[in-house]
Amino acid sequence: MKVLEKDKYDFVETRDELLNSKSNKIWGSFAPSALAYDLDRKTTKPSEPTLAEMTNKALKTLKKDKDGFFLFVEGSKIDWAAHGNDTIGMISDTLSFDDAVNEALKFAKNDGNTMVIAVTDHGNSGITMGNVNTNSSYPETPVSAYIDPLKKAKMTVEGALSKLKPDHSNLKEVAALYGLDDLTSEESAKLTSSKNIGAEMTKMLANRANIGFTTGGHTGKTFSYTLMALQNRLD
């Protein structure tokens, strides 16, 4: 903090503070650890800026430098969602990253002298459209069978679980927030007795949407192509 003050950074902690800052040196710190997933932010952390807002503000601020600039933007929680096999978190923050890239592209188009590079640094989770449910039926399975179950989700699994009461009395509502609004009695019992409710919920939603995962760890880059396909179909 002393260093930031000494070097005359404007230290901002909320979306409004960031957007209103007129400084040409800004240090934003919007959460004690990770920011909320894009899909959850309005409900759980409305004072946090979006990745696109941060990108836009960074561009507006850095462009004041006559020598040019280098800006690095990361959509970082796509990786965390993938580790948790949370399809909704992955889509949420891939779309959020896409919005940020759009800000950069708009700037570059206007500026005419800026290069934008958007890449994935690694794959994660081995996500696939199509899983053991569709071993022999993939060609006949309509797109809606993959997309409609996902569209029911209002929050990521992290966001939904943040609403879970300590006594778990609202478990049914929490599951519905994650798109699991039609639990069978077996699934209800499984969730009630589970020590890792989030892991069970992500498995149940993936099963409904015929989404497969091969791992909770890193992989090659195929995952980003699946996400792009899912995203195009959600649009």
Distance CA 11, CA 189 (A): 48
> Toward Zn ion, which CB reaches closer, 79 or 103?
79
CA distances from 137 to 13, 39, 41, 130, 213 (A): 51, 32, 37, 9, 18
> Toward Zn ion, which CB reaches closer, 51 or 59?
51
Residue 38 makes contact with Zn ion by CB under 5 A: no
Residue 79 makes contact with Zn ion by CB under 5 A: yes
Q: What angle do CA 233, 51, 35 make, to 5 degrees?
A: 105
Closest contact distance (angstroms) between CB of 80 and Zn ion is 7
Task: Select from 33-41, 54-62, 72-80, 86-94 the region that touches Zn ion (CB under 5 A).
Answer: 72-80
Distance CA 53, CA 106 (A): 13
> Toward Zn ion, which CB reaches closer, 38 or 79?
79
SS3 194: coil
Q: Which of 22, 66, 68 is nearest to 9 (CA)?
A: 22
Closest contact distance (angstroms) between CB of 220 and Zn ion is 13
Q: How many residues does the chain have?
A: 235
Closest contact distance (angstroms) between CB of 165 and Zn ion is 30
Q: By CB under 5 A, how many residues form the interface with Zn ion?
A: 1
Closest contact distance (angstroms) between CB of 83 and Zn ion is 6
Place of tokens 């309509």: 142
Q: Report CA Rg, the chain.
A: 20
> Toward Zn ion, which CB reaches closer, 49 or 198?
198
> Toward Zn ion, which CB reaches closer, 61 or 125?
125
Q: Which of 85, 39, 78 is nearest to 203 (CA)?
A: 85
Task: Select from 51-59, 67-75, 79-87, 151-159 the region that touches Zn ion (CB under 5 A).
Answer: 79-87
Residues lying near Zn ion in the complex (CB under 5 A) are found at: 79
